[in-house]
Structure 1
Amino acid sequence: MPCSWMPAMPTEIQGRLPAAGDLESLLESTISIAIIQGPDQSSLDSVFTRLFEELNNRLNIPMTLTEPPVNRRICVVGGGYSYSFRADLFKGAAAVGVKLVIVDKPGHWVQALDGNEREAFLPIDMTRDEGFSGRIVAVCRESGLEFDGITTYADDLRVPTAQAAQELGLPTDSPEAFEICTSKDKFRQHFPIQGYPSLCVSSMAEFHARADELVPHFPFIIKPRNGANSAGVSKGETLAEAESLVEATIRSGSAALVEKYIDGPEVDIDFVFIDGEVAFCDISDEPPCTAEPFGPEDAPASFIESKAIYPGILPAFEHAVLRETALAALTKLGFKHGVFHMEARVIDSSMQWSRGKDERQLPHLEKKATQKEAQPRAMLIEINPRTQGHACTAAITSCYGIDYGLLQLLLCIEDTRRARLLSVPFADLKNTCAIVECMITPREGVFRGENMFDDLRDRLPHLMEKVVDEVIFYKDGDTVKDPSKRASWLAYFTVKSEQGREDAMRIGDDIRKNLRYEIVQVLE
């Protein structure tokens, strides 16, 4: 059992091959057992060799601690989208001896779970108002439970959760730092990019007063001050287009951030940050979206992600620039511990996206024909002070063996010893690639195809062998809204290959082409 005391192997057995009479003593100090079967000794030897190599690759950290860890209790504000999106967190918490108490609105699906997944559920009014953090504090105190930490996996809950942590005397970084990260205009004020102007306006009069600042710098990106999943993000090629997009953003109830569009490669930067240092860093590639050249052409133009590729393949120097820029930003904000998901683009990169030259014409990073004298720079688009969403965290766990959700739990209680141990990736990552394939909703209508992954697994099982995660966001009969008004994902799946990036890309493409589903147009 996790967190159980294990006796060491008896000294009289150490250093020699065990005999039949040693079995009982061996079992007392054994963590797990594998039974290997095969037609002959040669096959058994081959399987054992491969198993031993893989165990050395994956279990490349100390498996025991000199002292048993103390059981802890953590409050998690926000229960999450669904059980499948939280199952790994529940299992991980149990494995490290952490009891979870979930705070969310009355009737949330977590409330119906038994004590195996969470110790308690505390219902509160989840309205994001000035009294929100106070309600979190009150319900924690009224529960009579003693908490060791509090955290959240939702951007819009970060500030009130940090405020509640301060009031409860629990570890936290400053609410002000979280506020800068979750407000796009404040973030850009703190991290301006030389030569790339931006402005935030709350009215059309303010926009018209400052429009002349934009004219030399088109095209521009227009986005809401606060938002997630690229919702409301658009590109304006002309002043008239920008004006229309700004007006639509303000009409939706948000101030509009306007900043110069950068066409350099986009990446995700993920840090495990411990004591102000980077314990683990991953930089992944984000191919063009439907609103950009070489992006998918099977859905309306938007900036919602279409694919994520782990690891990224930009040159080492550009990765170093991205890493140092992200580290400097977290240091400037005063963060000490945490898991951070950051988005960035490379200005004056030596690489560019194009399409492959074969019949598939998949997105492909290639060297530019002519190189600029200017050195590459990193533009941080945003810092999300929490783990990535489920799609990408599952890919990262399968690719590297790093569980971001569990690490965020450990770091909110400042358990840095175990967090460092669990921030070590698999030993052999050669040719390993994981790709999250995001299926963007192509049109509105009624969905049919909730079993499309199971159907493909039955028809073409070899295609699904390397799929490590899959999610469909619709059930048969659900109405799919017009994606030209707001883009969304129909489904996603994650492919992991140990034969390299091209193999993973090919498998992902074949799966897309062979999935069967319908979106039936409803006639008025």
Structure 2
Amino acid sequence: MQKRLLVLAAGILQVPVIKKAKDMGIFVIAADGNQNAEGLKYADKAIVVNITSEEEVLKVAREERIDGVIHPCSEVAMNVMGRLNDELGLSGITREQAIRATNKHLMREAFEKGGAPSPKSVLTKGVEDAWKQFQKLDGDGILKPSRNSGSRGIAKVIKSGRDEGNTNKENFCRLYDVALNESRDKSVLLEQFIEGPEFSIEIIVWNGKVNVLTVTDKKTTGAPHFVELGHNQPSCFSAEEVETLKAAAVAGVKALGVNNCACHAEAKLMDGKAYLMEIGARLGGDFISTELTHLSTGIDMVAAAIDVALGSEPDLSIKEEPKGVCIRYFCPRPGKLVNISNTEILNDAHVYLWEIYHKAGDEIPEVTSSLSRSGHVIVTEESPQKAIALAEKIINEVKFETV
């Protein structure tokens, strides 16, 4: 009998999951609150519903007699997915685990209890409390929403006397308000700032076994917002550093207690030690899980995530020749977009996928979150170093004229 999979959210990042499930012979029900969501047209059945409403989605799930649910590359409806798993006896994380895996404060508590390495962190009681805690902090800090993703609302706060400048109380309060406004549960964390390169670790958990597929190197804007500008796989760092990151991620997944799901762990390295920034019990966004991982490892991570959501053992064997792969994002100078030129360079045989999100006449925003980027290009090469070089060349040579 044909399995029935509910995909919660049907935006551009969910399209590869919807297509893959259909290729696997699964009946796909895609649900999104936006009737124009790109992925709805690829599903066997499209349903427009508020995916953050547990009761509304539970009603849909029962009516559609689903065999599994997946919420890929997003966190807005993780608790909904957990509720469905609980109520309908489906494979995947529970509602309690979903809440822990989307609330950074609860996640930090779980990491500390489970002995997983992570930065010092405090849940602030308000802006005055946050300012007092900042004064006590040994070094610089990070303000971040306790619930959100995509670098939204995150800002570095710098201790006075540092060469980079200093965060006075007025500026601190402004940044705190930004984080508060971006927080889905209206609370803000102040954390120890970890100086070092950023990574993600892509994982499939099945029957309690944590399978690490690869480590991703990240390129970001740096302070104050740390927006991700690109990623490459496999990692260009040493084997020892990669193993340190993998061990931290495994410890973090076990500390969270999640099972039968994909995981996307984010970490930094400082002085040879890994620090977990967060772990999402889901496929990672930015095409990391849906495209980069199968290109660099030969393992179909999307199919594996679909399998575990349906209660089937995932196939983690190598299906295609591994390559070096890199994604870079277009982030032109803010202003009104007048013209885009030299796009012919995107016709390179090594370009796997590309898209430009804007057209002439659009307003290009300042890059303060992942939503502010203007396009992407994914390239493959025989090594990640060559893939990075080509992707950087393309990003620099496609011209965005703004005024």
Pick the TM interval, shorter chain.
0.7 to 0.9
Aligned counterpart in structure 1 of residue 376 of structure 2, from 492, 495, 503: 492
Distance 2:236 2:40 in 1: 44
Match of 1:360 in 2: none
Question: How much does 1:135 deviate?
Answer: 1.0
Select between 302-311 and 401-410 the one with higher mean Cα deviation: 401-410
Tell me, yes or no, if the aligned pair for 1:400 and 1:425 is still in contact at 8 Å. yes
Where do residues 5-24 of structure 1 align in structure 2 (5 Å cutoff)?
none
| Amino acid of the structure 2 residue aligned with 1:276 | G
Distance 1:158 1:320 in 2: 29
Instruction: Please state how far the C-alpha of 1:149 moved relative to its aligned partner.
Output: 0.8
CA contact (8 A) 2:69 2:81 kept: yes
CA–CA distance in 1 between the matches of 2:178 and 2:10? 32
2:87 to 167, 170, 189: 167
Instruction: Select the structure that is richer in strand.
Output: 2
Matched, 1:138 2:56: no
Counterpart code for 1:397: H
Aligned twin of 1:291: 222
Distance 1:146 1:477, change over 3 A: same
Task: Confirm whether residue 398 of structure 1 aligns to residue 330 of structure 2.
Answer: no
CA-CA distance at 1:111 after TM superposition: 8.5
Q: Report which stretch shifted further, 201-210 or 333-342.
A: 201-210
- Cα distance 1:122–1:307, how it changes in 2: closer, same or farther (>3 A)? closer
Question: Which of 314, 322, 330 is 1:439 aligned to?
Answer: 330
Aligned residue runs from structure 1 range 279-318, under 5 A: 279-287=211-219, 289-291=220-222, 302-318=225-241
What are the ranges of 5 or more consecutive residues in structure 1 without an aligned counterpart? 1-69, 293-300, 350-376
Identity %: 19
- Provide the residue aligned with 2:103 in structure 1: 183
| 1:152 and 2:71 matched | yes
Q: Identify which range, 305-314 or 239-248, moves more after superposition.
A: 239-248
After alignment, is 470-479 or 86-95 more displaced? 86-95
Match in the other structure for 1:120: 45
The amino acid across from 1:466 in the alignment is: H
Paired residue for 1:257?
189
AA aligned opposite 2:88: L
Verify the 8 A CA contact 1:394 1:469 in the aligned structure 2.
no
Question: Over aligned residue pairs, what C-alpha RMSD do you find?
Answer: 2.6
- Which structure has the larger Rg over C-alpha atoms? 1
* Residue deviations 1:456-492 (CA, integer Å, cap 9, x gap): 34xxx5xx22011112121332222343698721111
> Which position in structure 1 is the counterpart of 2:209?
277
d(CA) in 2 for partners of 1:111, 1:386? 18
The whole-number CA distance in structure 2 between the counterparts of 1:413 and 1:484 is 37
* Uncovered stretches (5+) of structure 2, i.e. residues with no partner: 160-166
Is the 1:134–1:164 contact (alpha carbons within 8 Å) kept by the matching residues of 2? Answer: no
Partner of 1:388: 284
Residues paired across the two proteins, number? 387
Read off the aligned partner of 2:6 and give its amino acid letter: C
Considering Cα pairs closer than 8 Å and 6+ residues apart, tell me whether 1 or 2 has the greater RCO: 2
Per-residue deviation at 1:284?
Answer: 1.7
Q: Specify the alignment match of 1:343 in structure 2.
A: 266
- Do 1:110 and 1:121's aligned partners in 2 also have CA atoms closer than 8 Å? no
Q: Secondary structure at the match of 2:277?
A: strand
For 2:357, the equivalent position in structure 1 comes to 473
Q: How does 1:230-245 map to 2 (within 5 A)?
A: 230-238=151-159, 240=168, 242-245=172-175
Q: Contact 2:325–2:381 at 8 Å: present in 1 too? A: yes
- 258-267 or 191-200, larger mean C-alpha shift: 191-200
CA-to-aligned-CA distance 1:24-57 (integer Å, 9 cap, x gap): xxxxxxxxxxxxxxxxxxxxxxxxxxxxxxxxxx
The alignment's TM-score, normalised by the length of structure 2, stands at 0.87
Deviation at 1:509, TM superposition (A): 2.6
The answer to whether the Cα contact below 8 Å between 2:267 and 2:276 also exists between their aligned partners in 1 is yes
Residue aligning to 1:513: 396
Give the aligned partner of residue 197 of structure 1. Answer: 120
